[in-house]
Amino acid sequence: MKTEMYGYVRVSSKDQCEARQVLALREFEVPERNIYMDKMSGKDFNRPQYRRMVRRLKAGDVLVVKSIDRLGRNY
C-alpha cells in the first residue's frame, strides 16, 4: 500500500486568507491534488472538505496542517 501525503487548510470566515497555510503545505511538498480546504468555523467537524479528506486517508498516510487548531477547536 502506497503512503500518500495530505494537507488540510481551514479559515473561519470567507474574508480570511488561507494563503499562508497553503504555502506551508506546498513547502512540505503536499501534492496540490491532496490539499483540502474549508472556509468555515472549527466548532465541529461537519465540514465538507474535511469529511471528504478523512474518507480518503488510509493507515500510514501523512496529514499536514499548519497548526493543530486548523483541524478544529476541540481537536
Q: Cα separation of 11 and 3, whole Å?
A: 27
The answer to whether 65 and 6 are in contact (CB under 8 A) is no
d(Cα 67, Cα 26) in Å, to the nearest integer? 15
Catalytic residue set: 12
